[in-house]
Amino acid sequence: MDTSLTHHQAHLIFNGLPHVGPVMFRRLMDAFDGNGIALLNADKNTLLQTHGIGPKLVSFLNNWELHFNLSREERLLEERNTRFITLECSDYPKLLREIYDRPIGLYWKGDYTIDRPCVAIVGTRKATLYGLSVAKSFAADLASLGFCVVSGMARGIDTAAHEGALSVGSKTIAVQGCGLDIVYPPENLNLYKEIVNKGAVVSEFCFGRRIDRTTFPMRNRIVSGMCEAVIVIESNCSGGSMITARFAGEQCRDLMVIPGRIDQITSAGCLQLLRDGATLVTSVDDVLEELRYSRPKSSAVCLPNPKSTDDTVSISKAEQSVLTCFSGGEILSPDKIAEHAKKSSAQVASILMSLELKKHLVKRSDGSFEAN
């Protein structure tokens, strides 16, 4: 057995070998009790006895030096200040570990490692001005609240999402569908550099791997896999964002959609997702509610905190006098509230609207109110 290899090097080799995808890698590692070095040193007969392993794959494993240049890859990792993160590393994204076809490893460029909840914002490359504005605004607001915004650095919505997070000095992660020595699209070179400086650019592909029709879907499963939720902003029915949305459903991630105009092709995919049961969101507060986070009291960037039963918004004396009317669990009409609180209808209407916005009261379909 070649004992000169480390387990980390073995994972790097598997990641770069043709025909050894994430699912096959799991099967191989299970057969060899998680020992990648033993797997690479196994003879032909031993490998052929492994269920699902054919002669072609055995040839790749027994002659891996002919198909993957380990020394070159390690040299490029050092020269390009890039890490290769495996499942054995603590920096491997926690949520990504949960998916069935999790990557063998990730090329990771940038000092940032995930220390907060992640939310993906994805959408069409041919975005409208409305879509770009919404993507940038949502990303900036979520980043200000302490989320890490994840996207694919593609043209359109992806680019706007990264720019929104960076505009408030917060963290963002770009997942590429090519090697990290390739910037795609090329016009995003400056954005790439800024993300590396303030966040991270990530890929499961070796240096030199160019984009093809298979790499984008592989990239998309990572985008959704490392996030708690995926927000789709503008997509046609056959767009790449629909693939990300499908992965989000398979991975049990929250899928949220921002609606668009019914007469635009860029809204067709979003409307289809809404018909299929995705959550409609029109504000960052909708996102927080779906994920069960509360908006922090401070305007400073901080991590979202689980919702508490404590009040997070100050209540005026007038508002408190109205809330007192509901102390026994009553359901009251505005007229009854005005009577109990000894205030005019106009005053009560204003107070009720304020308390509803602060989520202390809920308006029922019949126009009456009850405490939230």
| Residue 295 burial class via C-beta count within 10 angstroms: exposed 0-12, middle 13-18, buried 19 and up | middle
Residue 251, pLDDT score = 94
How would residue 94 be classed by pLDDT, with cut points 50, 70 and 90?
A: very high
Which pLDDT score, from 0 to 100, does residue 114 have? 94
C-alpha R_g of the chain: 26
What's the pLDDT tens digit per position in 13-59? 999 988 888 988 888 888 888 898 999 888 888 888 877 788 888 88
Of 61-65, 184-188, 241-245, where does mean pLDDT reach its minimum?
61-65
Mean pLDDT throughout 155-175?
A: 96
pLDDT confidence bin for 311, thresholds 50/70/90: very low
Q: What number is the average pLDDT over the span 65-86? A: 94
Q: Is the pLDDT at 253 greater than 50, yes or no?
A: yes
Q: Please compute the mean of the pLDDT values over residues 193-215 and round it to a whole number.
A: 94
> What is the amino acid identity at position 361?
L
Reported pTM: 0.77
Mean pLDDT over each residue of the chain, to the nearest integer: 88
d(CA 130, CA 187): 22
Closest CA to 25 of 87, 118, 109: 87
Percent of the chain at pLDDT exceeding 90: 58
Quote the CA–CA distance of 207 and 233 in Å, as a whole number: 31
The more confidently predicted of residues 315 and 126 is 126
Please tell me the predicted confidence (pLDDT) of residue 312: 44
Question: Which of residues 131 and 312 earns the better pLDDT score?
Answer: 131
What tokens appear for 205 in the block? Answer: 């592909």
pLDDT reported for residue 3: 55
Segment 363-368 shows an average pLDDT of 76
pLDDT at 304: 42
- The single-letter DSSP state of residue 195 is H
pLDDT given at position 79 = 95
Cα→Cα distances 192→81, 107, 202, 357, Å: 14, 15, 11, 39
β-pairing, 82-86 vs 105-109, is antiparallel
Residue 293, pLDDT > 90, answer no
Give the least confident one: 16-25, 181-190, 281-290: 16-25
**Predicted confidence band at 298 (pLDDT cuts at 50, 70, 90)?**
very low
CA distances from 215 to 177, 183, 206, 230 (A): 5, 14, 12, 19
